[in-house]
Chains A and B, each alone.
Chain A
Amino acid sequence: DAKTTQPTSMDCAEGRAANLPCNHSTISGNEYVYWYRQIHSQGPQYIIHGLKNNETNEMASLIITEDRKSSTLILPHATLRDTAVYYCIVRVPSRNSGSARQLTFGSGTQLTVLP
């Protein structure tokens, strides 16, 4: 799985958009970009994933650059409950590999939403 680089920490004002960057310059053609978050020792929570197109769901938007070497997770209106560690993970999905593939968590970005 390709390595990812994320800032250690970020702050965001409540109600504003939080933009979390991730670099994955060694991503290969069949690898997807996944975002998960972990709120204070709870189990990690899936947010969104993408291959090359931008994606949006009820939680967030994912913008992937055209060369796929970086991406940005956008929380459009951050709330205090969005304070968490956010993980960017790049991997070939299990469905494409025929086996239950692991998620490799790095250190992530600690996002603190300030009132």
Chain B
Amino acid sequence: EPEVTQTPSHQVTQMGQEVILRCVPISNHLYFYWYRQILGQKVEFLVSFYNNEISEKSEIFDDQFSVERPDGSNFTLKIRSTKLEDSAMYFCASSEVVRHEQFFGPGTRLTVL
């Protein structure tokens, strides 16, 4: 069964460094999403992407964040200058245009020191 994959599974970085989290959505999906979950808290929406542009974004998704679909398979989330409070699990998700469900990847645990 096709699935969303994410790399790396765990990323440790120093505060102020740039990180890129990578996702490979399911191949025929056209809607893409990033969510995050700080330890012990709710899953929070960051951004959605369709037709090569951002569809929706939350207040969390400020100028420090960006998303890109550099080729036909990858979907990336970049954090330009990481802060301690960016430490969280980051989930990528994708969905088909005509179906309802979003499929989530296993997540990348980002630790900012």
User: Chain A residues in contact with chain B, CB under 8 A?
Assistant: 32, 34, 38, 41-46, 49, 87, 93-95, 99-107
Indicate if the CB atoms of A49 and B100 lie closer than 8 Å.
yes
Interface residues of B in 81-103 (CB under 8 A from A): 89, 91, 93, 95, 97-103
Indicate if the CB atoms of B45 and A100 lie closer than 8 Å.
no
29 cross-chain CB contacts under 8 A: A32-B100, A34-B101, A41-B37, A41-B107, A42-B106, A42-B107, A43-B91, A43-B93, A43-B104, A43-B105, A43-B106, A44-B43, A44-B102, A49-B100, A94-B31, A94-B50, A94-B100, A100-B31, A100-B48, A100-B49, A100-B56, A102-B48, A102-B58, A103-B33, A103-B35, A103-B45, A103-B102, A105-B35, A107-B42
What is the total number of residues of chain B having a CB less than 8 Å from a CB of chain A? 31
- With A100-B56, A101-B48, A106-B42 known to touch, is A94 a contact of B91 (CB < 8 Å)? no
Indicate if the CB atoms of B43 and A99 lie closer than 8 Å.
no
Contacts of B42 in A (CB 8 A): 105-107
Indicate if the CB atoms of B48 and A34 lie closer than 8 Å.
no
Cα(A38)–Cα(B58), bound, Å: 21
User: With an 8 A cutoff between CB atoms, is B44 at the interface?
Assistant: yes
User: Chain B residues in contact with chain A, CB under 8 A?
Assistant: 4, 31-33, 35, 37, 42-45, 48-50, 55-56, 58, 89, 91, 93, 95, 97-107
CB distance from B30 to the nearest CB of A (A): 8
Indicate if the CB atoms of A44 and B31 lie closer than 8 Å.
no
Cα(A42)–Cα(B37), bound, Å: 10
Contact residue among A44, A46, A101, A106 (Cβ-Cβ distance under 8 Å from B56):
A101
Q: Is the interface of A mostly helix, strand, loop or mixed?
A: loop
- With A99-B48, A105-B44, A106-B42 known to touch, is A46 a contact of B102 (CB < 8 Å)? yes
Indicate if the CB atoms of B33 and A100 lie closer than 8 Å.
yes
CB distance from B13 to the nearest CB of A (A): 20
Contact residue among B4, B43, B45, B97 (Cβ-Cβ distance under 8 Å from A94):
B97
Contacts of A46 in B (CB 8 A): 101-103
Cα(A38)–Cα(B100), bound, Å: 18
Contacts of A43 in B (CB 8 A): 4, 91, 93, 104-107
